[in-house]
């Protein structure tokens, strides 16, 4: 008798994606809502459709999914946007996350979560400050009128935010939580070392694959080269005990940045300096790594692969959802959700204030603040991080249930707020155009 478990699981995942997209278009609701509900219903009520033990295969599913999820997001960022909004993205992805974790950890003195140590508070808020680009894009992609500036900030934040949260969790929060003590100086330098080494490795890998792409001239081969780059960067960094996610993101962004420079130079040769400097020679700038048309295909394929990987994570989330436990920890979940929401509101308000007073940071209006605040949906990375807590930790169940609850609440809560806002805004715009 043959085992058709992988085939059945693939049929289930693709079937759910097709059905969710079709229903979402007809009902005019974000597809992520239907994907979450569908994955839960299928996993718990149609077990034959998921014939694989996800609890036992959790690590394999996660490691397989991470590079695909982050690759698509990193490819979508343009080098010109990164240069133009570098300080904005740095604040949102690094400063805001660090401040948010610090503010959250300071609540330890109020004993909101009972017996948790200060290190546990740091770990808990690091886990629940990581945002999910797939969920955000699923909601925002339905609506027009969102400024390019805000879209770039959301995309840039979702990538950098995740990398910062991972470093804060693995190199500060988790060791502190498990040991009960921490050498602040050593932890800070270790986090900075990981940050610097991860970026350096990412840039090196990005350059190698950028040069390799110059040997190819076919879009499918170029797409799979990016896939190889994402997995290689992640695995190599993890083996070297630095941040696989930050290395992966840096590698893809670096390759894409050099490609963007090539495309811009070939599209506008009159605006490019004729002088041959060392960096241009090193890049073999006369040979294009790819074209705009092929790059568009690569991005579309990466987006679809990332979407499928995200659905696999949703099935893992469905496995973690236990209604009885969620009800038991309902107060803690609501408190954590409220605290993280208020902290995000304040950090985005601070960003808007900086935009008015600091020239290098572009200001955002009230709508921009609103969209940035409620685009902070949690998702795949929060689930991944909470799973990494050792089973021996006495409060692991608390972490898992609270994080699962916050993830679900943020997707449905934030997503519904954004959906209602843009739906009403669109209806008003259509009504106004009728009476003009």
How sure is the predictor about 276, in pLDDT bands with cuts at 50, 70 and 90?
A: low
Q: Chain-wide mean pLDDT for the chain?
A: 86
Task: Using the predicted structure, report yes or no on whether residue 273 has a pLDDT greater than 60.
Answer: no
**Whether the Cβ atoms of residue 202 and residue 251 lie closer than 8 Å to each other:** yes
Q: pLDDT-based confidence at 42, cuts 50/70/90?
A: very high
Fold classified for 55-434:
Na+/H+ antiporter like fold (1.20.1530)
Give me the pLDDT at residue 427, please: 82
Contacting residues for 360 by C-beta, under 8 A, at least 6 apart:
87
- Which of the two residues, 224 and 215, has the higher pLDDT score? 224
Identify the burial level of 272 via C-beta atoms within 10 angstroms of its C-beta, where 0-12 means exposed, 13-18 middle and 19 or more buried: middle
Residue 181 to residue 396: CA distance in whole angstroms: 18
- Say which range, 19-23, 247-251, 299-303, 364-368, has the weakest mean pLDDT: 364-368
Least confident of 77-81, 191-195, 354-358, 413-417: 354-358
Task: Please tell me the predicted confidence (pLDDT) of residue 383.
Answer: 87
Q: Is the pLDDT of residue 145 over 80?
A: no
pLDDT in tens, 105-118: 899 988 899 889 99
Tell me the two tokens of residue 151.
């879209």
Domain ranges of the chain: 1-52, 55-434
Task: Please give the pLDDT value at position 355.
Answer: 63
* Residues 6+ away with beta carbon under 8 Å from 159: 70, 73, 74, 77, 93, 133, 249, 253
CA-CA distance, 284 to 214, in Å (whole number)? 9
The Cβ of residue 56 has, within 10 Å, a number of other Cβ atoms equal to: 8
Residue 176 has pLDDT above 60, yes or no: yes
What does the alpha-carbon distance between residue 330 and residue 42 come to, in Å, rounded to a whole number? 24
* Confidence at residue 267, expressed as pLDDT on a 0 to 100 scale: 72
| Packing angle of the helix pair 5-27, 31-45 (nearest 10 deg) | 140
What is the average pLDDT across 160-170? 89
* Selection from 141, 112, 138 nearest residue 125 by Cα: 112
pLDDT at position 81 over 70 = yes
Question: Could you write out the three-class secondary structure of 233-244?
Answer: HHHHHHHCCCCH
Characterize 62-82 residue by residue with b for buried, 16 or more Cβ atoms within 10 angstroms of its Cβ, and e for exposed. Answer: beebbbbbbbbbbbbbbbebb
- Reduced to 3 states, what is the DSSP secondary structure of residue 390? coil
Position 393 scores a pLDDT of 92
Please report which confidence band the pLDDT of residue 16 belongs to, taking 50, 70 and 90 as the band edges: very high
Q: How many other CB atoms are there within 10 angstroms of residue 136's CB atom?
A: 27
Reported confidence tier of residue 239, pLDDT bands at 50, 70, 90: very high
pLDDT, position 78: 83
Lowest mean pLDDT among 66-75, 95-104, 261-270: 261-270
Q: What is the pLDDT of residue 279?
A: 57
Q: Which residues contact 213 (CB under 8 A, 6 or more apart)?
A: 222, 225, 255, 259, 289, 290
Residues in the chain, total = 436
For residue 419, give both structure tokens.
Answer: 């959906």
Closest among 13, 176, 210 to 101, alpha carbons compared: 176
Find all residues with CB under 8 Å of 186, minimum gap 6, and list them. none
The pLDDT assigned to 111 comes to 87
Question: Do 117 and 177 contact (CB within 8 A), yes or no?
Answer: yes
Residue 298: what pLDDT? 92
Q: Which helix (H) or strand (E) is 248 found in, with range? A: helix 244-267
pLDDT of res. 389: 92
Contact 372, 364 (CB under 8 A): yes
Q: Which segment of 82-91, 138-147, 206-215, 421-430 scores lowest on mean pLDDT?
A: 138-147
Q: Give the CA count within 13 Å in the CB-facing half-sphere of 61.
A: 26
pLDDT at 210: 93
Residue 64 scores a pLDDT above 80: yes
Residue, of 271 and 334, whose pLDDT is higher? 334
Residue 147 pLDDT greater than 90, yes or no: no
- Alpha carbon of 335 to those of 120, 219, 330, 339: distances in Å? 16, 49, 9, 6
Report whether pLDDT(156) > 60: yes
């Amino acid at each position: 008798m043959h085992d058709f478990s992988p085939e059945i699981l693939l049929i289930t995942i693709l079937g759910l994606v097709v059905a969710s997209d079709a229903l979402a278009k007809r009902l005019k609701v974000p597809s992520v809502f239907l994907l979450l509900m569908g994955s839960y219903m299928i996993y718990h009520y149609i077990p034959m459709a998921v014939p694989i033990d996800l609890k036992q295969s959790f690590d394999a599913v996660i490691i397989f999914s991470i590079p695909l999820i982050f690759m698509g997001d990193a490819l979508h960022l343009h080098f010109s946007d990164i240069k133009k909004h570098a300080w904005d993205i740095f604040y949102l992805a690094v400063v805001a996350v660090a401040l948010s974790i610090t503010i959250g950890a300071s609540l330890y003195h109020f004993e909101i979560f009972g017996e948790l140590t200060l290190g546990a508070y740091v770990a808990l808020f690091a886990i629940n400050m990581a945002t999910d680009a797939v969920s955000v894009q699923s909601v925002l992609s339905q609506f027009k009128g969102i400024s390019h500036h805000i879209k770039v900030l959301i995309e840039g934040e979702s990538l950098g935010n995740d990398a910062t949260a991972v470093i804060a969790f693995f190199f500060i929060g988790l060791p502190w939580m498990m040991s009960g003590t921490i050498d602040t100086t050593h932890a800070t330098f270790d986090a900075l070392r990981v940050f610097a080494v991860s970026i350096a490795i990412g840039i090196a890998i990005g350059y190698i694959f950028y040069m390799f792409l110059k040997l190819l001239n076919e879009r499918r081969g170029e797409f799979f080269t990016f896939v190889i780059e994402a997995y290689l960067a992640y695995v190599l960094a993890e083996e070297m005990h630095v941040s696989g996610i930050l290395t992966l993101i840096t590698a893809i962004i670096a390759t894409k940045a050099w490609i963007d420079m090539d495309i811009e130079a070939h599209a506008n040769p009159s605006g490019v300096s004729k002088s041959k400097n060392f960096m241009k020679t090193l890049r073999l700038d006369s040979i294009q790594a790819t074209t705009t048309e092929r790059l568009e295909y690569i991005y579309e394929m990466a987006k679809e692969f990332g979407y499928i990987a995200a659905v696999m994570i949703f099935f893992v989330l469905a496995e973690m959802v236990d209604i009885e436990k969620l009800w038991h920890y309902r107060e803690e979940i609501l408190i954590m959700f409220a605290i993280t929401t208020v902290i995000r509101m304040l950090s985005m308000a601070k960003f808007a204030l900086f935009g008015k007073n600091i020239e290098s940071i572009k200001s955002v209006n009230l709508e921009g603040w609103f969209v940035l605040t409620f685009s902070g949906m949690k998702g795949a990375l929060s689930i991944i991080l909470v799973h990494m807590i050792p089973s021996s930790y006495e409060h692991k169940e608390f972490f898992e249930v609270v994080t699962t609850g916050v993830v679900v609440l943020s997707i449905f809560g934030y997503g519904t707020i954004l959906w209602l806002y843009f739906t009403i805004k669109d209806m008003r715009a259509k009504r106004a155009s009728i009476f003009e």
